[in-house]
Structure 1
Amino acid sequence: MTIDTSHDHQPLASLTAETGGKTRRIAVHVVMIVLSVLSIFPIYWMIVTSLRPENEIFSTAMWPANPTLDNYVFVLTRIPMLQMLFNTTVVAATTAGLQVVTGLFAAYALVRWKMRLSGVIHGLIALSWLVPFQVTMIPNYVLASKLGLLDTLTGLILPNASHAFAVLLLYHAMRSFPTEILEAARIDGAKSWKILWQIVAPNMGAPIASLSIIAFISAWNEYFWPLLLSRKPENSVVQIGLQMFMTQEGNLWGPLMAAAALASLPILIIYLVLQRHVIESFMKSGIR
């Protein structure tokens, strides 16, 4: 006589699989919590240091014993911080907008207009992405000097008005756009300008949003070009303002952290307000 034990092993296997699944989920959550703490802690420490008085700057306490806003007052009275924040916002927003527009023009021309050298042009644009900005910085400076753009916001914007990354991102996104829609619009008499702005651009929200975010953050963090072009603090950007608190005699850590907190605040607010749209734009455009 044989005894069927399959029914006895099935609940045990199911219980083991369920336990293993819970263990994996717990491990994943623990790793995510640790990574989140590691990401947030520098921001927390920057804010805490900005609130410390001078005699507590190097304290390792998690919160200052006597928090003060003196560092923020020092920053706002020592340099034109608010004007620098305004300049940086104008430069970053304008640069991002121009990169989107020039990227759309170039990508549409490469995708829709059949040219013998289109492959060569695409390759040259891709190769120009590999050239560091430090290589073209001096020629750009000479040109800006001859055009009278030194110490101006226009001079900070124009060299970054177009970028190879913007062209390539929108080019690959535009290649997947249904050609049937474009042909139907052309048969109806629509010109290239109307097709681009009324059909193509409205249906490329994800890549355009991704490009706008990347271009804005990149322009906001730009340092070398404003350092070379700017002369007066009121015509400069916030990254130059941060450098003013770093001297050969030593760094003013309290004011430096206060200025860094003020410089980071707009980016953090933008991310918190547009968090869902930022994540969706990166997921839909395939950027990781």
Structure 2
Amino acid sequence: MTTVQPRRPRWTITKSALLLLGIVLALATVFPLVWMVTGSFKPADEVNGASLLPSEPTLENFVYVFTQVPFLRYMLNSFIVSAAVTVLALWFHSMAAYALARLRFPGRETLFLMIFSTMLVSLPVILIPTFVVVRTLGLVDTYAGLIVPAIFNAFGIFLLRQFYVSLPAELEEAALVDGASYWRIYRSIILPLSRPILSALTVFFFLTNWNSFVWPLTITSDPDLRVVQLGIATFQQQYASDWNYVLAAATVAALPTLLIFFVFQKQIVESIKSAGFK
């Protein structure tokens, strides 16, 4: 019996160029993160280039960030806003997407087209009108002013609708025959099947609001409501010559984003598969 030797992949110029391009892009992506983390453990003179001799890692930068500046308060504010927006957005977006995907009512396609068209409008275009509405409602310098305008996101409704359209209609038909209402179908059948796509949107919504800067800068002036990104910007203004403090604060702010990505990494991959994206 003859054994068939596996064919080795043939390296062409195109494959080699793509591999080299991928390595360059990976290094360009990872280098700022590595520089930030390593710089956060260095003293000020080494980070600023005043000393060329390497020194031992130090935790003094992190101690200063948490003792001399209310950075924990900034992180708490960001967590409250990000978590509240994520939970409320997933709740309302999933209901809206289910209605647009499964329920038949006049103007459904027109309504979906109007929601989808808002994805073409950038934040600077609606920044002033949104601020006027929030100020009229008396929500300036409040958590509600930070949370409510960020709940609506057409991308979430669009992605969930496409996912619900791909689900087999036989599941709902069988539940309707058994006497289940649409609300029961949504709660008992649709939501459990939506865990992969909801996990991916959880990461998207949380990271988007955790890294939010323009809207919190516009709507708040109270230091007690300052979010983490505004806190880092304040660091850059106060400690422009001490980059070690800025890097330490940025490293601490990046930890929750990395943690939530690694926790939901498997669900993100599953959501991409189930949504049919290539």
Report deviation, 1:88. Answer: 0.9
Percent of aligned pairs with the same amino acid: 33
Tell me which stretches of 4 or more aligned residues in structure 1 moved more than 6 Å: 21-31, 60-63
Q: Residues of 2 paired with 1:123 and 1:60: CA distance? A: 58
Alpha carbons of structure 1 residues 135 and 97: separation in structure 2 relative to 1, 3 Å = same
Letter in 2 for 1:166: G
Report deviation, 1:128.
0.9
Q: Distance in 1 between matches of 2:20 and 2:128?
A: 49
2:56 is the counterpart of 1:72 = no
- Match for residue 152 of structure 1 among 138, 142, 148: 142
Matched position secondary structure for 2:10: helix
Taking structure 1 as reference, are residues 280 and 83 closer, same or farther at Cα in structure 2, changes over 3 Å only?
same
Residue 30 of structure 2 corresponds to 40
- Whether contact under 8 Å (1:210, 1:285) holds in the other structure is no
Separation in 2 of the partners of 1:248 and 1:267?
25
Which whole-Å CA distance do the structure 1 matches of 2:60 and 2:47 have between them?
13
Distance 1:229 1:157 in 2: 11
Report which of the two structures shows the higher radius of gyration computed on alpha carbons: 1
Q: C-alpha distance in 2, partners of 1:251/1:164?
A: 41
Tell whether 2:88 aligns with 1:98: yes
Instruction: Note closer, same or farther for the CA distance 1:276–1:206 as it changes in structure 2 (3 Å cut).
Output: closer
- TM-score, length-scaled by structure 2: 0.86
1:6 is matched with which residue?
Answer: none
CA contact (8 A) 2:40 2:244 kept: yes
Deviations 1:108-157 (A, max 9, x none): 21122222311111111111111112222222222222333222222111
Structure 2 match to 1:234: 224
Q: Aligned with 1:42: secondary structure?
A: helix
Gaps of 5+ in 1: 1-10
CA deviations 1:179-215 (Å, max 9, x no partner) are 1211221122211111111111111222211111111
User: Does the CA-based 8 Å contact 2:203-2:261 persist in structure 1?
Assistant: no
Matched, 1:180 2:170: yes
CA gap 1:120/1:28 in 2 versus in 1, 3 angstroms: closer
Spell out the pairing of 1:76-225 with structure 2 (5 A cutoff): 76-225=66-215
Query: 1:60 & 1:197 partners in 2: Cα distance?
Result: 61
Pair 74,151 (structure 1): closer, same or farther in 2 beyond 3 Å? same
The runs of 5 or more residues in structure 2 that have no matched partner are: none
Q: Which segment is superposed worse, 54-63 or 209-218?
A: 54-63
CA distance in 1, matches of 2:69, 2:205: 27
Judge conservation of contact 1:48–1:63 (CA < 8 Å) in 2.
Answer: no
Closer, same or farther: CA 173–116 of 1 in aligned 2, 3 Å: same
TM-aligned CA deviation for residue 55 of structure 1: 1.3
Which residue, 248, 251, 257 being the options, matches 1:258? 248
After TM superposition, the score normalised by the length of structure 1 is: 0.84
Which moved further from structure 2: 58-67 or 245-254?
A: 58-67
1:243 is displaced (CA, Å) by 0.6
SS at match of 1:52: coil
